[in-house]
Structures are given as structure tokens and as C-alpha cells.
A and B are shown apart, each in its own frame.
Chain A
């Protein structure tokens, strides 16, 4: 199994933990991830706030690199994933967009590189059975809520990721790892996303609602698949506790970190020391069995 892997800018900064865990997990599972040489930013939200064609051209530059490698593209960051899917969709469905993008990049791209989220290839290409066979440790009944956020599931006709209102792909991974996957209503609510710096007040409102529901559902931990959600829910937890008079203490971990623990990989190698809310109880529970 070989893919082009687009880490996204956060992998070098605020989501190094995500990058470390995906690298370790894919190595252990025999999945070969090759970064397109010299990959560039997908433009994220600021690009589509600014100019539509520009916001399509930026991810296309990276899809062109994958096309030249002759490989499907694997992405973890939900924002990058979304922008790549949008670029493919626009180029495939709108010939004028395709022409304009070709004009901008100096090369034509036909929208044909398949884009997958890392959890999608775990289920679809590797399979639950293979995962089950490879795990050496178990989550041992740990109560986990899976949080998907916005950009993986919406808009569904563009991303085509699982069920847009009730996705279960991460829940099934939690179950395979021996955790108790809790069904809860805030799987696809918004955490405030790109407002981390500009409108912290909005992030606090929205993330408070998500953390509140996770707590009410009895979660011991939240599994995420997006670097922006991870930072908002983890880093802002203390601010929310202060402003909203709450006492959340919910570790926010990447699903790849949980998988890594179950594969017997050390928490340090998975970047778990970078979590702000300590994931120690999870680590202890997994390592002791």
C-alpha cells in the first residue's frame, strides 16, 4: 500500500503530534506514505475568503505533484482534505474553472487524483480484520467520543466522507481497539475552526458546547481527526473552564495516537507529551493491559 501523503502546514507546527503519530502508525501497519517533494499550503480558509480561483489553484498545485507520482493522495488535516476535494470537484464539474486553473499554474490538471482521509484508507484499504490482528494492546473499555467536526463531512456531495450527519468510521476504529465508543449528538458540530486567534470568543462558545456534551455523555477521552479541532478543544479547555465556570478535564487526542498506543508504540513517539490536557490516564490504561 503506497500513497502520496500531504501533511499540511500544521504538521510542521501545531500538529507535529499528529504528524509523528501518522508516521509511526503507517510504518507499523506497512502503509507507505510518500510526501510530494516541495508541497505547498492548501490556502485553507483565508484563501477562499479572498478569491475563489486562487483558493482552487493552491490545492491543485499539490494534486499535480501527486498526479506526477502516479499515486492517490492521503491527507489527515480536515481543512486540507476539504480544499483538495473542492479543487477536484470544481475542476471535474466546471470546464471554465479547469481552464482558468490551467492558465494560472501553466499546466493542465484533470481532477483525477483520488483524495482519501487517513482513517478512510485504514478501513477501506487495510481493513478492520488486519487492524485487529496487528493490535497488541487494547483501550480496555475506555469511554471515547469520536469527534469529526465540519470539513471531513461537509459538503457531502464534494467530500463524500461517510454519513454527513452521523459518521461512524472513527467509532468503528475505537470499537476495534477495544474502547467503548459512545454515541453522542455533537459528532459534526463546529468547534470554531479558523477563529482560534481572531474570534476566540466564538471558539469558546462553540467548543464549550462540544465539551459539555462530551462530558454529559460520560467521555473519558475525545478522538479527533483534524488539527484545528484538536488545538481549539485542547488548548482552549482551560480558558473555557475559567470563563464558563466549568471543570472539563477531557484529553483531546488524535485517533492515530490511540491506534499507535494499541500497536504498542511509545507515547513519546506519538507526540502525546504535546497534549495540553494530560492524556496520562489513557496511556496508563492502555499500557497496563
Chain B
């Protein structure tokens, strides 16, 4: 399939930002597509990993940040493991996620950034994650109250999920680390 990038939208800035954040240079990509062929979500996304790299190489600009793969990539690292040029695609995806939030790219299904925020908020609060707290906050934020309502009573009864947060963490380092968080 031909890859069409309009001249007006071309932009060299994104490639540089990705490199700065991830420390990865994508110039060496040969487009062998081993990443795409091994990627577990290739069949579910519109833009597979090898195409993301190609678009970056061709300076396709910030339209890349709307690619569905960015928030559908499970960070399984198969791409990086199999890349003959050792390009750390998983790190590139992290950089694109960070940039998509920074540049307010369109929200995508599942609202993973909201989940991430609440996950880390509980870590900042307790030093460890608090599953039930972040699940409740995420559900309120996405109005997905009724998804999995059959699961939680059963999990609580089996003690497969903790009712209360843990208070055993020593937050000495965590406090310092969160102060430096970007």
C-alpha cells in the first residue's frame, strides 16, 4: 500500500523529539517488517509498527500521534527483540505516547492515559498501587460503571483483590522520585 504524506504537513520536529525522549535513532530501519509480523495487535490496528517508523523517517509530522497503535501497543517488546537493526521500537512507542499527551492528540478508545494517571496517583499516595481505588476512579472517569460488575463481588469474596490499600510502604524515595516526574 502506498504511503502518502502531504508536503504541507511534513515536519522534522517530531523525529527529533522522539530521538531526544527515547534515545533511539530510527534511521537504520530497513523496513523488513519483522516488527509488524510479530506484533500481537497488527491485525487490530490501522497503522502497524513498521509504518510508524517509516512515517517518522519521512517526517510525516504530528499526524503520527493520532495512530491507533500508540494506545493499543501492549509493550510486549516482540518488535525490539526481533529487530535485526536493534531499533528499540517499544521505547519509540513510549516516546510517542508521551508526545501525544503533551501535544494533546485526540483521545483514543479505552482512555489509557486516564488509567495511567490514577495508577500512578495511588503509587504517589500509598507508595504501592491500590487496585480498587484506581479501578473506581477510572470507571468514574470513563463512565464504564457496568463493565465487569459480575467480577468484583466474586473477586472480593475470594480475596482475589484487596479491599483496602497497603500502608506498609516507606515513601522516602517515592516522594523524591515523584517530585522529578515530568
Contact = CB atoms under 8 A, between A and B. Distances in A.
Given A61-B173, A104-B180, A198-B111, A274 B159 contact: yes
A51 B98 contact: yes
A200 interface: yes
Contacts of A199: 71-72, 109-110, 112
A158 B135 CA distance: 31
Interface in A44-62: 44-54, 57-58, 61
Contacts of A103: 180
B120 A64 contact: no
Contacts of A49: 75, 94, 97-98, 112-113, 116
A248 interface: no
A108 interface: no
A17 to B, nearest CB: 8
B74 A202 contact: yes
Contacts of A156: 81
A126 interface: no
Interface stretch (B7-15, B46-54, B55-63, B126-134): B126-134
A58 B161 contact: no
B36 interface: no
Interface in B150-177: 151, 154-155, 158-162, 166, 168-174, 176-177
Nearest to B91: A52
B74 A192 contact: yes
A61 B78 CA distance: 28
Contacts of A14: 131, 155, 160-161
B44 A154 contact: no
A128 interface: no
Contact of B123 (A43, A190, A273): A43
B105 interface: no
Given A46-B115, A46-B120, A54-B181, A194 B161 contact: no
Contacts of B166: 9, 12
Contacts of B170: 37-40
Interface residues of A, number: 57
B128 A12 contact: yes
Contacts of A235: 151, 155
A94 B138 CA distance: 36
B115 A155 contact: no
Contacts of B6: none
A249 interface: no
Contact of B115 (A48, A197, A274): A197
A195 interface: yes
B151 A198 contact: no
A190 B168 contact: no
Interface residues of B, number: 62
A213 to B, nearest CB: 13
A37 B172 CA distance: 12
Given A38-B170, A206-B40, A13 B74 contact: no
**Among A44, A150, A197, A206, which residue has the most Cβ atoms of chain B within 10 A?**
A197
Nearest to A36: B170
Given A9-B129, A49-B112, A274-B158, A41 B123 contact: yes
B22 interface: yes
Contacts of B180: 53-54, 57, 103-104
Interface string A174-201: 0000000000000011101111011110
A200 B174 CA distance: 30
Interface of B: 21-22, 40-41, 44, 71-72, 74-78, 80-81, 88, 90-91, 94, 97-98, 109-113, 115-117, 119-120, 123, 127-129, 131-132, 135, 138, 147-148, 151, 154-155, 158-162, 166, 168-174, 176-178, 180-182
Given A48-B94, A58-B123, 8 more contacts: A38-B170, A40-B171, A45-B75, A49-B113, A192-B74, A193-B75, A194-B74, A206-B40
